[in-house]
Copies of this chain bind each other. A is one copy, B any other.
Amino acid sequence: MPDKHVVAGFIQHKNHGDRESNLRHIGQEIKQLAERGTQLVVLQELHNDAYFCQGEDIRHFEQAEALDGPSFQHLSQIATQQNMVIVASIFEKRAEGIYHNTALVIEKDGKLAGFYRKMHIPDDPGFYEKFYFTPGDHTYPAFSPIATSLGKLGVLICWDQWYPEAARLMALAGAEILIYPTAIGWDPADNPEEQQRQLNAWHQVQIGHAIANHLPVISCNRVGFEADPGHQEPNNKTSGIQFWGNSFICGPQGETLLQANGADSVSQCCEISLHRSAELRKIWPFFRDRRIDAYNDLTQRYIDE
């Protein structure tokens, strides 16, 4: 079996204040990544705008757009120009009253290869996503990799990254790379030790999915401080979010291939071997030995006594 490589990259960046500036930055960075041979680029979660979910404000619904709306049209042109597969992230308006947090996979020829609507929706102070995003529904299978010219991409989004079930289902459906556009950061009020534990947990749980499924992982996170946009009552304002960057690419043994820092807008790329996953599945055949006769209760909320 011949080795199969993909040069993959990510664009981790601070919010530039408005959609036009963010998309301009992304366009420039994609061009530079293309010059370095990048074939696949992953953008961060909701890259067009500020992370608006710090508060609950119906005015933000005006930002939402259709799957084939202006963001797709714009990035489709860039994909064609740069001959690159792009994993983008939009605030999708599907119908009046039904909005999703949606990843788009745009093929090199500019066509929409597929999309994924975030399945696990968080809601905690500063991350009021349940207000905005209807959880992804599904036909079959529930977690479907998106076929592209580079391979099958197991695209998930942010909060999904804490769920081994999502990664496993993508792997069982044939994903060759796990991909997470994400928007996670610190509450500036937490102490440095807690902040470090949270960052490590975020990093290592995704490394765990790589290892358990023998798949490379690309995770692209926002970076920089974003204040609470402040549409809420003053006493409900959060202390803002320090997005922690640290976007990374790891191989199918969890080995680090790329690791961005926690402070800067950076675009990086590296080569990923898709053949290595196949090798590992022969050496350590986890998939052979799954006890599918004993996993029924994974569909239970809790196994009450």
- Chain A residues engaging chain B, CB cutoff 8 angstroms: 119-122, 124, 135, 138, 141-143, 159, 162-169, 172-174, 197-198, 200-201, 204-205, 207-209, 211-212, 253-255, 283-287, 289-303, 305
Contact = CB atoms under 8 A, between A and B. Distances in A.
A163 B283 contact: no
Of A138, A167, A291, A299, most buried by chain B (CB within 10 Å of CB) is: A291
B294 A159 contact: no
Contacts of A301: 287, 290, 292
B198 A253 contact: yes
22 contacts: A119-B291, A120-B290, A121-B289, A122-B289, A124-B285, A141-B297, A142-B291, A159-B289, A162-B211, A162-B212, A163-B286, A164-B209, A165-B298, A169-B297, A197-B255, A201-B254, A204-B207, A204-B208, A205-B208, A208-B208, A208-B209, A208-B212
Given A212-B205, A212-B208, A165 B295 contact: yes
SS class, residues of chain A in contact with chain B: helix
Of A142, A143, A295, most buried by chain B (CB within 10 Å of CB) is: A295
A286 B162 contact: yes
Nearest to A130: B289
Contact of A168 (B135, B165, B291): B165
Given A169-B294, A172-B302, A200-B254, 12 more contacts: A120-B289, A142-B295, A142-B297, A159-B289, A164-B164, A164-B167, A168-B298, A172-B297, A197-B255, A204-B207, A205-B211, A207-B208
Contacts of A292: 298-301
Contacts of A119: 291, 294
Given A174-B305, A207-B208, A253-B201, A138 B285 contact: no
Contacts of A200: 253-255
Contact of A211 (B135, B201, B295): B201
Nearest to A187: B283
Nearest to A200: B254
A255 B198 CA distance: 9
A210 to B, nearest CB: 9
Contacts of A124: 283-285
